[in-house]
Structure formats: C-alpha cells, structure tokens
C-alpha cells in the first residue's frame, strides 16, 4: 500500500513545506542556542575537568560565588514579599488606578539593565544626590553590597508580582470571603486559604526571579566597582577572567551559571507541565 500516495488533507501542509519548516527551525535553534551553550562547557573543559574545578576553587571565584548567593538571598525574598503583597492588594480589592499600578510594577522590565544600575549611581554615587552625605558618614552603597542588592532588586522587581497577579485574579475572592465569614483571621486566611492555592505559581515566580538575580550582569556591573574578592559577583568574575585571557577560568565559572540556567529551565518546564492549571495561564517575560 505504500505505493499509493496518502492524499493530503485540506488543512495539511505539503510535505516539502513541513520538512523545510522543521529543518529551518532546528537549524536556527542549533546555531543560535545550542552551539553557544555547547561552547560554554567545551571551553570550560578544554584543559580537563580538574583544571576547571581548580579554577572554581580560586579564592576570588569562591568569594564571587558567595557574593552572588548572598545577593540573591536578600533580593529574592524581598521581591517575593513585595509580589505577594502587590498581588493581594491588587486582586482582592477594587480601587482606582489599579491598571496604572500594574504598569508601574512592570516598568523595570522595560528599562535597560545598565540604566537600572545607573539610577542608583545618580542617587548614591560620589557625585550622586546624597553621595557627599554618605561619604561624610562613611556609608558605602555604590561599589559595595547594598548597591549590588539594590540593582538586583530593581531588575528582578516584577517577576513574582506578575506571576501572582493574573493567577490570583483568576482565582477570585470567594474562598477568602468564605473564610472570613467563618471567623478566620487575616493571617490564617493567607496561610491556610490563599497560599495553598498559589504555591506552585509562587514557586514559579521565585524560580525565575532567582535565576535572573544570580545571573544579572549589566545593572550590577555599573554599581559594583569590580573589586576582586569583594564586590565581584559570578557574572562579573566571568567578565574579569575573560578580559584577562583566563578563558578556562572564565568558562568554568560561566558553566556553573549555565548549569543554574539549565536547572532553572528544567524546573520551569516541569512546573508548566505538572501544574499547568495552578500557574498563571499567560506567560510573558
């Protein structure tokens, strides 16, 4: 029967179109996405695994890893708290200017990373609005941890909020209103009614927020001052090593970050597949 051509359905594309389309799609993804990823790992392992691991045990690399973890450990919980508060206020109450507030929350996503760092330098830097005051009182914000955390908070600001707002808006207020009519306190409503409903969506938002917090380069680069062993985060350390022609070291640290990205993608795909109904339907980034 193989000799008889299968008649093509009216809404089916010609075989040549299908093959060409898939071939172009795969070629593009391989060229633009897979090869850069493969480059990271192959360059890191260019001199063998031991060499790459040794580069990671360098004191400056370890200090960069510590700073990145510390920064994320401060910025992510604060933005999560903000996201939950914003989603609660926006989805459980009706007030004027709601749309405007949502737009303002999304604002950091439309701002260049470099500008996200620049705005803090304009305030806290040497020639910033309160720079002289800070210097007189020996308070360091720019070229120190607070500036790095602030810049990270700015670029990851909307992640949790924009995941929770559509989700909680879909879920409505009936359950919370039922709980309050039965005499539950505000706190127990949040922990026992709202949180169980949004936990996967919340985790999804936190996951994306954390990936960006640990990987942010542009904003942090502007406020960090690049002091080795002190204000270098992992992405900045990658830059320093690369510009020093220490390619294996640069790619070794880079491959740690790439692994973080791959783990994030895997968890993200898993959450989208397993809990599709419990995370917001629309995903824009």
Partner 1 sequence: MTVAYAVPRPVSRWRNPSALPGFGISMGFVLFYLSAIVLIPLAALAIRPWELGWSGFVAVITQPRTLAAFELSFGASAIAALLNTVFGFVVAWSLVRYRFPLKGLVDALVDLPFALPTAVAGIALSTLYAPNGWLGAPLAALGVKAAYTPLGVVIALTFIGLPFVVRTLQPVLSELGKEAEEASATLGASRGQTFRRVILPALAPAIVTGAALSFARAVGEYGSVIFIAGNLPMRSEIAPLLIVIKLEQFDYAGAAAIGLTMLAASFLILLALNLLQSALFAKR
- For residues 46-65, which are near partner 1 according to CB under 8 A? none
Please give the backbone phi and psi of residue 85, each rounded to the nearest 5 degrees, phi first: -65, -45
Q: Is 102 a binder of partner 1 (CB under 8 A)?
A: no
One residue of 166, 201, 215, 249 binding partner 1 per CB under 8 A: 215
Q: Is 159 a binder of partner 1 (CB under 8 A)?
A: no
Q: Which is nearer to partner 1, 49 or 104 (CB)?
A: 104
Q: How far is the CB of 35 from partner 1 (least distance, A)?
A: 6
Local structure of residue 172 (DSSP, 8 states): -
Please give the backbone phi and psi of residue 265, each rounded to the nearest 5 degrees, phi first: -60, -40
Q: How far is the CB of 61 from partner 1 (least distance, A)?
A: 14
- Binding mask 221-240 toward partner 1 (x if CB under 8 A, else -) reads xx-----------xxx-xx-
One residue of 51, 146, 218, 275 binding partner 1 per CB under 8 A: 218
Q: Which is nearer to partner 1, 201 or 215 (CB)?
A: 215
CB contact at 8 A, 266 and 211: no
Nearest alpha carbon to residue 223 among 157, 152, 156, 159: 152
Among residue numbers 11 through 40, which ones bind partner 1 (CB under 8 A)?
Answer: 11, 13-14, 17-18, 21-22, 24-26, 28-29, 31-37, 39-40
C-alpha pair distances (Å), 238 with each of 88, 226, 247, 260: 39, 11, 9, 15
Helix (H) or strand (E) holding 181: helix 174-181
Q: How far is the CB of 184 from partner 1 (least distance, A)?
A: 9
Among residue numbers 169 through 198, which ones bind partner 1 (CB under 8 A)?
Answer: 173, 176-177, 180-181, 185-187, 189-190
Among residue numbers 252 through 271, which ones bind partner 1 (CB under 8 A)?
Answer: 254, 257-258, 261-262, 264-266, 268-269
CB contact at 8 A, 71 and 152: yes
Environment class of 109 (CB within 10 Å of its CB; exposed 0-12, middle 13-18, buried 19+): middle
Q: Is 69 a binder of partner 1 (CB under 8 A)?
A: no
Q: How far is the CB of 76 from partner 1 (least distance, A)?
A: 14
CB contact at 8 A, 92 and 176: yes
- Name residue, tokens 């009519």: 181
The CA-to-CA distance between both ends of the chain, in Å, stands at 49
Q: How far is the CB of 85 from partner 1 (least distance, A)?
A: 4
């Amino acid at each position: 029967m193989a000799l008889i051509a299968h008649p093509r359905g009216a809404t089916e594309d010609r075989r040549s179109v299908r093959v060409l389309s898939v071939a172009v799609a795969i070629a593009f993804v391989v060229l633009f996405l897979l090869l850069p990823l493969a480059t990271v790992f192959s360059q890191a392992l260019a001199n063998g695994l031991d060499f790459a691991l040794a580069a990671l045990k360098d004191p400056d690399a370890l200090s960069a890893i510590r700073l990145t973890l510390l920064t994320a450990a401060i910025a992510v919980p604060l933005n999560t708290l903000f996201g939950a508060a914003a989603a609660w206020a926006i989805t459980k109450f009706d007030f004027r200017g709601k749309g405007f507030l949502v737009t303002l929350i999304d604002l950091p996503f439309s701002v260049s990373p470099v500008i996200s760092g620049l705005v803090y330098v304009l305030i806290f830097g040497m020639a910033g609005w309160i720079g002289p005051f800070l210097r007189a009182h020996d308070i360091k914000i720019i070229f120190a941890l607070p500036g790095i955390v602030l810049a990270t908070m700015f670029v990851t600001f909307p992640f949790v909020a924009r995941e929770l707002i559509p989700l909680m808006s879909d879920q409505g207020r009936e359950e919370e209103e039922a709980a309050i009519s039965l005499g539950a306190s505000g706190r127990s409503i949040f922990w026992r009614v709202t949180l169980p409903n949004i936990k996967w969506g919340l985790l999804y938002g936190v996951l994306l927020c954390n990936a960006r917090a640990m990987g942010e380069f542009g904003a942090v680069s502007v406020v960090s001052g690049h002091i080795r062993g002190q204000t270098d985060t992992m992405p900045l350390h990658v830059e320093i090593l690369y510009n020093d022609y220490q390619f294996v070291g640069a790619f070794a640290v880079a491959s740690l970050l790439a692994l973080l990205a791959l783990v994030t993608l895997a968890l993200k795909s898993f959450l989208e597949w397993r809990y599709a109904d419990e995370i917001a339907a629309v995903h824009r980034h």
